[in-house]
Amino acid sequence: MIWGETDLSRDIFLGGKLSIWQPLRGYRAATDPVLLAAAVAARPGQSVLELGCGAGVAILALGRRVPDLHLTGLERQPDYAALAQRNAQENAVPVTVLVGDLDQMPDALRGRAFDHVLANPPYYPPRAPAALDPGRAAALREDTPLERWIDAALRRLKSGGWLTMIHLAERLPQILAGLDGRAGAISVRPLCPRAGRPAGRVLIRARKGARTPFRLLSPLVLHAGNTHIEDRDDFSDAAQAILREGRALAWD
């Protein structure tokens, strides 16, 4: 699919620090990629790979927060990859965007190892009803099993490198099974919609080759109050700091 200007919207992230072109009909990023980027504890000079970068929100949010990173995005849909490259150029965040599938890495990635890999794998199983838009369906419905996402990420990490993921809370046992014996220092931060509500999603961080014990951290509560009352953002102060101010998510 080739989008014209009338097929796209230009959306603001990080309180205006990023301006991102996205398809009006198709996969559209919301809070998850920003939360994912905030969870990556990268330092200037390090190398970072995002698997399935879409239009580039997560990797660009990370690049906006941490200077002088060597950023690479992998995206299997060429139209989204082109959009990610355009967004990187227009936001002046240097990113190399490659077209390819994580099951068949492009030659430019083979043999390379990164300090950090981040991923927001599709949430819904193959049997889930497909979205009408094929790009949205490909982004949301799991064609490649979650175990293969984890395997591909760990293979691209240096020894001691960090994998950071966001996914549904119900998939946490499967994610931990995929990491077992290959990564440690695993920390999980539940993401709760409101205080007292069950976590719908989780952020997971793991270090390749580490043996440090598992940690289940206190949840990040995304919204203030018990219910949504007004037609406006009601993010908690902690969520506002991440989503609007571009702060890092704490892992301690």
What are the CA-CA distances from residue 140 to residues 45, 52, 128, 144 (Å)? 32, 11, 10, 11
Lowest-pLDDT range of 96-100, 164-168, 218-222, 232-236: 232-236
Superfamily classification of domain 5-243: Vaccinia Virus protein VP39 (3.40.50.150)
Dihedral sign for Cα 111, 46, 140, 184, please.
Answer: positive
- The yes-or-no verdict on residue 53 having pLDDT over 60 is yes
Please list, in sequence order, all residues whose beta carbon lies within 8 angstroms of the beta carbon of residue 4, skipping any fewer than 6 positions away: none
Strand partners, 10: 21
186-234 pLDDT, tens digit per residue, is 999 999 999 999 999 999 999 999 999 999 999 999 998 666 555 557 8
DSSP state of 189: E
Residue 129: predicted pLDDT: 54
The domain ranges of the chain are 5-243
- Mean pLDDT (the chain, rounded): 91
Report residue 136's pLDDT band, with 50, 70 and 90 as the boundaries.
very low
Report residue 124's pLDDT band, with 50, 70 and 90 as the boundaries.
confident
